[in-house]
Chains A and B, each alone.
Chain A
C-alpha cells in the first residue's frame, strides 16, 4: 500500500510540475497575474508531493518491505537502521528520487526566500526549474521507478554494498547532490534573464547567494567524498582522478569561476554574457556528471546496474537542456551585452584571467575523462587516461590561478597601477618565497614542488592577513566590515590550507607493504608499528578479523590501532577497514591485507602509511565552505527590497 502511495504521489507531482513549468514560464513572459500567483503555491505542493513520495520509499526501507524490488536490491533485515534510511540513496533509482527531492527543496527555498524579487522573475525561474523536474520525473517513472514491486516476496534483501555501509554514505551523496542540483538555480536565473532580456546588477545580486550556496555544497560533497575514499576504500589514496570524481570536480571548477564572474557582473556590470555561459555550463556539467555516473558507461564504484535506455534518456535530456539554452543564448546574447570598460591592470582583468584558466582546467579534465569513452564508442580500442595526465595538466594551470588570485584580490576595480600593486604585494611575496623555500629543508629533503606549493600557500595567507589588517585599520568599527569580505578571505585561506596538505602529502608521504607475523615491527616516518595480535569478532551483519597494532614513537607507546578485515554475511564480500591515527600535522594509517600464513605462526600482509598534513586537504575544504557561507549570508542579499540601481560597494570584497 505505502509504495503505491509513493508511486502515485510521484505521478501526481509530474502533473503539478508540468502545469507549473508551463504556467510559470508563460506567466513570467506574459505577466498574467493569475498565472504568476499560482507559481509559489504550486511549488510548495510539488515539494509536499515529492517529500511524501520520498518518505514512502524511506518507510519501505525502514520497515524492510521486501516486496519492493529496489529495497530487495539495496537492503537487508540485518542492516542497521541508519543504513536502511541512508540506503534509499544507495542505488540508482533512489539516488534519482533524492536528486528530484533536492531539486524541489531548492525550488521551495526560492519560493520562500524571494520576496525581494519581482514576481514575474520568480515565475520564470520556478517555471524553468519545474521543467527540469519534469525531465527527471519522466526519467524516473519510465526507466527507473523505485517503487516497482515483486509478486514473489523474497525472505530477505540482497543487502547494501558493504562499501556503502559507512557514515560517509549518510553525508557524502546528499551534500554532493545538493551541490549538483543547486547549480540548477543559477542556471534557471540565467535562462530567466535571457527570456526577460534584462540582466543587470540586481539580477546578479539575486543569483549570487544561490550560486555560492550550491558551490558550498559541492565543496563539502567533494571533500567528504575524498575523505571517505581515504578511510573507507582502505588504501590511503585521497584523490584518484576517477571519472566519477572528475564528474563532481568539473562543475566545481566552473561554478568557482561562476561565482567570481557574478561578482564582476554585480559590481561592475561586466562579463554578462560570460556569466550566462558559465551558469549554463556549470549546470550542463552536473547533468553530464549524472549521466556519466548513472549510465554505467564508466568502470567505477558508483556505476550501478547498466540499462542502455537510461543512458540514452539522459543523453537526450542533456542535449535538450544544453542545445535549448545555448540556442536561447545565441538569440538573446546581443540584448544582455555588457557595457563599460576596465583597464588592463585591474581586478576585472585578474578575475577574467582566472575565469579563463579555471574553465581551461575544467576542459582539460573533461578531455581526459571523456577521451576513453569516445575512443571506445568509435571502436578504436580500449584505453584509459591515468592520474599522471591529470597531474601534469592540472597543476601547471592551477599555479597561475593561485598567483592571480592573490594579485586580483589586491587590485582595484577599473584600473590599478603595476607599481602600486608591486609595492603592496612585494614584501609578502618575498617573505613567502623565502619561507616557502626554506621550510622544506626542515622536513628533510628539499624538492622544487614542495617549495613551490608552500610559497604559494604562504603568499595567499600572508596577503589575506595583510588585507584584513588594512581593512581593520581603515574602519573605525570592525563590525561594519561586510561578511562577504571575511568570507572571501576565509575561502582563500582555505585554498591555501588545502594546498599545504596536498603539497606535503605528495612530497613527504611514506608507504610500506609488509608481511607481519605476531610481534613483528615495521617503521615509517619515525613511527613504529607492532602487530600484537589478531582476533575474531562479530559485528551486526559481519564477522571481522581485528588486528591489534601498537603504535609507538621513540620507544613510547602512543596508542593501539585496530584495523579490520570484515566479511559480510549476506554477500560474503570482504572489506578492509583501515585504522587511522589522525593528527593536526600527520596521519598514521594501517590496514590489514590478506592472511599469508595460517597455523602456528600466522602472518598477514599489512600496509602502513605516514601521511604528513593530509587532514589539511579536507580542512581547507571546510574553510572554503565556511567562507562561502559568510559570503552568501552577506547583509546586502537579505534586504527585503533590493534597490534596482547598483548598491553601494563596500569594502571591495568579491567573494
Chain B
C-alpha cells in the first residue's frame, strides 16, 4: 500500500473514531444534563415535569418528618418553600437548618420525589448550589421591598 493511501486510511479511521465519540457524547449529553432550580424557580413553574433536576436550599427548621425509611422535608431558599420526599438513608450531614441539594423528579401534582439527597462532608460547608439559591432569593426579596 502506498504511503499516501495509508495516510488517507489512518485519517479516515481517526475521523470515524472521532465522529463515533462525538455521536456518543452528544447523545448522552442531551439526556443527562441535570439542571438546577431554586424553590422560587420551581414555584414560578420554571422547572420541568417528569425530568430529573436538582433543587437546593436550606432544610427548613422543624419540617423533617420521618416514617420508617420515608422522609419528607421542606427545602427553602427563604422566599419560597418546597416539599421533598425521599425514601432511603440520608447522608450523615443532613440537618435541619443546613444546606441541602436534592435530585429527583416533580410529579404532576407538584410533589418532588428525590432519588438522591446530597449534603456535603463538612459541617461548615454549604453546597454552592444551595448557597446560590438562597442568595438569589434574598436579592429578589430586597428588590421587592
- A interface with B by C-beta (< 8 Å): 161, 163, 234-235, 299, 301, 341, 343-344, 349, 352-353, 356-357, 360-361, 363-364, 367-368, 371, 381-386, 388-389, 392-393, 396-397, 513-515, 571-576, 593-594, 596, 605, 607
Contacts and interface: CB of A to CB of B under 8 A. Distances in A.
B94 to A, nearest CB: 9
B93 A573 contact: yes
Contacts of B128: 299
A363 B17 CA distance: 13
B69 to A, nearest CB: 6
27 contacts: A235-B89, A299-B120, A299-B128, A301-B120, A343-B6, A349-B10, A353-B17, A356-B17, A357-B17, A360-B18, A364-B24, A364-B25, A367-B29, A381-B36, A382-B35, A382-B129, A382-B132, A385-B32, A385-B33, A386-B34, A388-B32, A392-B24, A396-B20, A513-B88, A593-B90, A605-B89, A607-B89
A574 B24 contact: no
B66 A596 contact: yes
Given A353-B13, A357-B17, A596-B68, 18 more contacts: A161-B122, A235-B89, A299-B120, A301-B121, A349-B10, A353-B17, A356-B18, A384-B33, A384-B54, A385-B32, A386-B32, A389-B29, A392-B32, A573-B122, A575-B92, A594-B89, A594-B90, A605-B89
Q: How large is the interface on B (under 10, 10 to 19, 20 to 34, 35 or more residues)?
A: 35 or more
B1 A384 contact: no
Contact of B92 (A352, A371, A396, A576): A576
A344 B29 contact: no
Most chain A CB neighbours (cut-off 10 Å) among B6, B25, B88: B25
B3 interface: yes
Interface in B24-78: 24-25, 27-29, 31-36, 54, 66, 68-69
Contact of A397 (B24, B93, B120, B123): B24
- Main secondary structure on chain A at its contact with chain B? mixed
B9 interface: yes
A356 B1 contact: no
Contacts of A515: 68-69
Contacts of B29: 367-368, 371, 385, 389
A529 to B, nearest CB: 15
Given A385-B33, A397-B24, A515-B68, A344 B9 contact: yes
B21 interface: yes
Contacts of B104: none
Contacts, number: 106
A234 B92 contact: yes
A459 to B, nearest CB: 21
A243 to B, nearest CB: 12
A343 B2 CA distance: 9
A-B pairs with lowest CB-CB distance, top 8: A392-B28, A382-B36, A593-B89, A389-B32, A574-B92, A360-B21, A383-B35, A301-B121
Contacts of B110: none
Contact of B36 (A301, A384, A572, A574): A384
Contact of B1 (A163, A343, A389): A343
A364 B29 CA distance: 10
Most chain A CB neighbours (cut-off 10 Å) among B10, B35, B36, B89: B89
